[in-house]
Structures are given as structure tokens and as C-alpha cells.
A and B are shown apart, each in its own frame.
Chain A
Amino acid sequence: MAAIITQDKAMAVATVARSPGYWSGVARRLSRDPVALVALGLIILLVAMAILAPYLAPYDPTKASMIRRLKPIGTPGYLLGTDELGRDMLSRLIYGARLSLIMGVIPVPIAFVIGSAIGIVAGYVGGITNTLIMRTVDVFYAFPSVLLAVALSGTLGSGLGNALVSLTVVFIPQIARVAESVTTQVRRLDYVDAARASGAKGHTIILVHVLGNVLGPIFVFATSLISVSMILASGLSFLGLGVRPPDAEWGLMLNTLRTAIYVNPMVAALPGVMIFLTSICFNLFSDGLRSAMDVKS
């Protein structure tokens, strides 16, 4: 009898039916969302464009020419016209994707790591520690993001590196707050209590039971910040606190073309259109990700 059961069991163990994991479910649901897929496709195109800029751009983006300034869209040889210094707009927009994407995207993952760590620890430990951490975070959070970014960049001085640092600092409190609230919710669930009751230590519980359940929502929030970051970065460059001329960056281009808005409004608006398109793509993708990560749907 016992032998039969043991054998039976051995067979059962060998053939455990595995459900597809959580992330493959997310991927499956995401693949059924046309809007998110289009947005993701456009993001990939933009990234490819930035990487392949030297091969795609018809001209050197910094080569100026006094004789062909502010040509309109559709000028033969200059498909999207030229800017106020006679540089080819198409080439500048393609090259501009490089710095714009770097400034838009890089601060978010850094802030994601730091902000999540702060928020998760505060949320899990609770009590006085939570109050101390979160009130400090709130001090930063109380400033409007634009003001904080400008103030920090202004203090640190202009330049790409300083702009990245100030954007990161702007996003850390926002992510930390979301991380803290999600963790506090998870912290109260019975499975965390069950894990504590089994004698597990705090860091084991955070690793096994908390991280997997909070990183998803924080990640979704972080992706929605990319569009904000793009716009803030453009704003910094616009104010002369980010990328310096003659480098191509959409925000900076918007600034330098500002004077041409009455002469050739279509061309002057082009960098704005790019910023708008890119940030909306990141937003739509982030929305799709949010619904795909909801198990109940």
C-alpha cells in the first residue's frame, strides 16, 4: 500500500502542471491591447531613430548656412525646412531624439531604484521610521516639480549631467510616496502576517513577499513619469539649463526657434510636436501596462 502511494506520488511530482507565470500573463494581455502595442512600436522606432541618427540624417545637424535660413516645410532637399541658422530640421530632429530620450528616460530608472528602496523600507518598517522618512520626502514633494528642477539645475549649473541629477532628485520623492503607500497596503495583508508567523526575518519577507507585489505598481507609475521627464528636460534646455547650443535637443530647439514663430510657425512647432508625440506614447504604453498587470481583468 505504502509503496503504491509513494510510486504514485513520485509520478505526480514528476508531472506537476505549471501555470504560466505572472509576467507571461502580463505579456499576453499586453499583446491584446492595440493601443499599447502601437505606442510601444512608436517608442521602439524613436529609439532606433536615435541610435541610427548618423545613417538616417541627410545632413550634419550643426552645419549652418546663412543663405537658406527658415525655409518652409517641403523645400526640395530640405523636407522639413531649415531653422533660424539654416540647419536642416529633419537632421536636427533625428539627432535631437538622442539627447531628448536620454534626458527623458535616464532619470526615471535611477529615481525608480532609489525611490522604491526608500518607500518600501518606510512602508514595511512603519512607525517612527516611516514618519521621519516620509516627512523628509514630503519637504521635496511640496515644491512643484518644474520649480524644483529649475532651482536645482540653476544651483548646480547648466549641462547635461547636472540636468539629469536634478531631474532624478525631482522624481525620487514622487516614486517614494507611491512605493510607501503600496507597501503599506501589502504590509497589512494576511500573507505577510503568515510569513512573519513562520519566523521569517524582515529582509526575507521584503524580498519574497513584498517586492514581487509592489514593484509592478511602482513600475507602472514610473513609466508614466517618463513623459513628464521629457517635458521637464525640454523645459530645462529651453531655459538654457540643460543641453547647450549647438547640440540638437528638442526643448532647446523649441527655444531657439521661438523668435521664428511669426515667420515660419510650422517649422517652429516641429520640436514641440516631437515632444508631444513621444510623451503621449510613453503615457499610452504605461496605461496599457497598468491594465495588463491587473490580474482580475
Chain B
Amino acid sequence: MMDAVPNPLNQPGDPRDRGGPAQPLLSVRGLVRHFPVKGSGFLKPKKVVSAVDGVDFDILKGETLGVVGESGCGKSTTARVLMQLIRQDRGELLFDGESVGGTLPLRDYRRQVQMVFQDSYASLNPRLTIEDSIAFGPRVHGISPRVAIDRAHDLLHRVGLEPGRFAGRYPHELSGGQRQRINIARALALEPRLVILDEAVSALDKSVEAQVLNLLLDLKRDFGLTYMFISHDLNVVRFMCDRVMVMYLGKVCEIGTRDAIFDTPGHPYTSALLASMPKMDPAERTKVPPLSGDPPNPIDPPPGCRFHPRCSFSEDICTRMPPGVSSAKTQHSVACLMAEPGGLHSRAPALQESGS
């Protein structure tokens, strides 16, 4: 079907694959990013927003990793650091085993990782035609204008927009759904292996959202892509993702397979998030809000477990001791004292006796 984009890419035998299927496509280690608060530091105490504060996770080859959390939890900052639009203060990114910015130069990394933003209008240059916007990336990487435009037309075809009708038009002439398809085509123009979707369908109407989600699934299969799917909509995440990571105030509180997260959530915050989704059954309406209050400000995160002020299981120990990520099961890790065997929380499972 497609001739300009060769198909063996991202399939078994992709020449760019290094570590084989078992090696994560992207490993994130100890990622930290703080922002100074405007107006602080001059005659005032210096304040920082701990947008991302020590985050570790892997994105496996061929999977869709969902990232959920309230506003201010650091999911968008994480995405921008992964895209290297902002640099981390500390921490390392390993792409298919190679250190980004070290053995893997930034420019080569960026060819393989692309991003789709939430605001479909702001992410397209209003002065460029659709085909020029899509062809820009390939041309930057030295592909001839003619070939780049051909590829842009192919991609338009692939995202369901007829090139003859759309290639020569400008973003403001199109609907939100059409623009988001173009943003997806633009992201694919560099033949990436990983695509970061930052709330990519959140601004769309539900019927259009469904069309774009189907498109994303088709493209993932056809191009053998890996997705990082950031969304505030847990229902969409459940539909799209293989694994899910839950973030709260700049930290990972739970990460695991979709079924583990949705069926047996281990962190009280995950349970609260799930319970907050509107029920589709008027006979089973929510009676009590699962969480009270607004998401806290990441300027002064509470000590100990960051969730403790809103947690109904909070004990004295939670205010003092930050939980580690229990990695007992790689399928499912939880950062909660209640999940640490032999821990100091009264609900923690007992440590299994060894030797007796």
C-alpha cells in the first residue's frame, strides 16, 4: 500500500533494532526536573516546582504505555523531557540501550522519537501548507523536497485525508479532528519508533476521538510503533494501553499491566482515580467523592508519602517515610507503604519468614 515509507522498519528485523525484543525501547532512570518559581529568589526565599522528582520507568518495544494523573502530576513535563524539549536536571534516558546525548547523538534520537501535542491548532504553523508542515522534518534531515512532499502525500493518505484535497491547504481551514490527523502524519514523517501522544485526543469531540483512536491503533500495527499515551481519561487509557503508569506530584505511584492497574489497583490514589470516573449506569451513581480537595500545588510537596494528606489510609508513618517502589512483581509495582512487606504501616503485608 505505502511505497515511500518502507515497511520492514519497526518490524522484526528492523535494521535499527539493537538489543532485541526483550530490551526496553526507552529506559528512564532517576529523572528529575525542577522549575524555579517566577518572582522567587530575589529578596524572597527561592522556590522550585518539583515537576518531575525522581522517576524511573521503561517503555517496552511495541507496547502502549499509558500515563495518567491529575494536572500538576508531571506527566506533560515527563513527555517534554523525553522529547528533550526541556533538559532534565538529573537522570538518564537510555534508548534501545544507548545513552541519549552520549553514545546516541540527540539528532539521531529525535528521528526515532516524535510527539503529538494536545492543541491541534497551536502545533501547526499557520503560514505553512499542510504538505509543507509534514515535509519539514524529512527535509531537515536532508531528504530532497520532491521525495519529502511525496512522503507527505502518502502519509496524508494513511491518516485518512485525501492528499488532493488537503495537501495545499492551511491549518485554519480544517476541523480539529483533521488537524490532529495531520499532526499524527507529521510525527510519522521521520519514521519514528516511539511516538509520545500528549493528550492527543483530549480536545476532540467524542465521535471524532473514536475515529482518531482507531487510526492510532491502525498506524501502530502497520508501522510497528511504540506509544507513550498520556491522558486524563482513564477509559481511553484502558482501551488503548498495554501497561499503565500512575503519577502523583512528580512521582510514580503505581505502574503495571492494564489489567493489574484496573482490576487490582495497589495504590489508594489509583483506586480513587478509578472511582472518580463517571459511571455509565444511572442506577449506580457515585455517592461520596473518592477524593476531597483539589490536586495540591507541586511547589511545596508534603513530606513522606506525597499522597498522605488526601489518603484515607494515612498513618503517622506515612507523613515521615516516603515509600519506595516495590518491585517484587515486575508486572506491577506500587509506591505505597501498605504494599511493602514487613513495612511499618499497619496494613502492610507480613514479611514472609525465610528458612523456617
* A32 at the B interface (CB under 8 A): no
Chain B's closest residue to A204 (CB) is B140
* B137 at the A interface (CB under 8 A): yes
Interface residues of B in 137-180 (CB under 8 A from A): 137, 140-141, 150, 153-154, 157, 162-165, 167-170, 172-173
Do the beta carbons of B3 and A6 come within 8 Å of each other?
yes
Chain A's closest residue to B141 (CB) is A199
Chain A's closest residue to B106 (CB) is A199
Chain B's closest residue to A13 (CB) is B153
CA distance A16 to B150 in the complex (A): 12
Q: Which of B115, B127, B165 contacts A197 (CB under 8 A)?
A: B115
Q: Total A-B residue pairs with C-beta atoms closer than 8 Å? A: 107
* A114 at the B interface (CB under 8 A): no
Do the beta carbons of B137 and A198 come within 8 Å of each other?
yes
CA distance A208 to B113 in the complex (A): 22
Do the beta carbons of A19 and B107 come within 8 Å of each other?
no
* B119 at the A interface (CB under 8 A): yes
Do the beta carbons of A12 and B153 come within 8 Å of each other?
yes
Residues from chain B with Cβ under 8 Å of A22 in the complex? 126-127, 170
Q: Which of A16, A198, A209, A295 contacts B164 (CB under 8 A)?
A: A16
Do the beta carbons of B153 and A200 come within 8 Å of each other?
no
Do the beta carbons of A194 and B150 come within 8 Å of each other?
no
Residues from chain B with Cβ under 8 Å of A209 in the complex? 125, 128
Q: How far is the CB of A24 from chain B (nearest CB, A)?
A: 12
Q: Which of B117, B136, B141, B165 contacts A193 (CB under 8 A)?
A: B117
CA distance A195 to B187 in the complex (A): 10
CA distance A199 to B124 in the complex (A): 16
Do the beta carbons of B168 and A16 come within 8 Å of each other?
yes
* B310 at the A interface (CB under 8 A): no
Q: Which of B110, B122, B131, B173 contacts A190 (CB under 8 A)?
A: B122
Do the beta carbons of B150 and A13 come within 8 Å of each other?
yes
Q: Which of A13, A17, A189 contacts B165 (CB under 8 A)?
A: A17
Contact A18 to B164, CB < 8 A, known contacts A13-B150, A199-B111, A212-B125: no
CA distance A13 to B146 in the complex (A): 11
* B261 at the A interface (CB under 8 A): no
Do the beta carbons of B125 and A18 come within 8 Å of each other?
no
Residues from chain A with Cβ under 8 Å of B157 in the complex? 9
Q: Per-residue CB proximity of A181-225 to B under 8 Å, as 1/0?
A: 000000001110111111111001000110011000000000000
Q: Which of A6, A18, A191, A198 contacts B122 (CB under 8 A)?
A: A191
* A5 at the B interface (CB under 8 A): yes
Contact A16 to B110, CB < 8 A, known contacts A191-B122, A199-B137, A213-B126: no
Residues from chain B with Cβ under 8 Å of A17 in the complex? 164-165, 167-169
CA distance A296 to B172 in the complex (A): 9
Contact A189 to B122, CB < 8 A, known contacts A12-B162, A194-B115, A197-B85: yes
Chain A's closest residue to B125 (CB) is A191
Contact A212 to B127, CB < 8 A, known contacts A13-B164, A191-B122, A198-B110: yes
Residues from chain B with Cβ under 8 Å of A75 in the complex? none
Q: Which of B140, B163, B168, B169 contacts A200 (CB under 8 A)?
A: B140
Q: Which of A6, A11, A194, A196 contacts B117 (CB under 8 A)?
A: A194
Residues from chain A with Cβ under 8 Å of B153 in the complex? 9, 12-13, 16
Do the beta carbons of A198 and B136 come within 8 Å of each other?
yes
Do the beta carbons of A295 and B126 come within 8 Å of each other?
yes
Closest 7 CB pairs of A and B: A198-B137, A190-B123, A12-B164, A18-B168, A212-B127, A190-B117, A199-B110
A-B contact pairs, 21 of them (CB 8 A): A2-B1, A2-B3, A9-B157, A12-B162, A12-B164, A15-B164, A16-B153, A17-B165, A18-B168, A190-B119, A190-B123, A191-B125, A197-B84, A197-B85, A197-B110, A198-B136, A198-B137, A199-B137, A199-B140, A208-B125, A213-B126
**Given A190-B119, A194-B187, 5 more pairs with CB closer than 8 A:** A15-B164, A16-B168, A190-B122, A197-B84, A208-B128
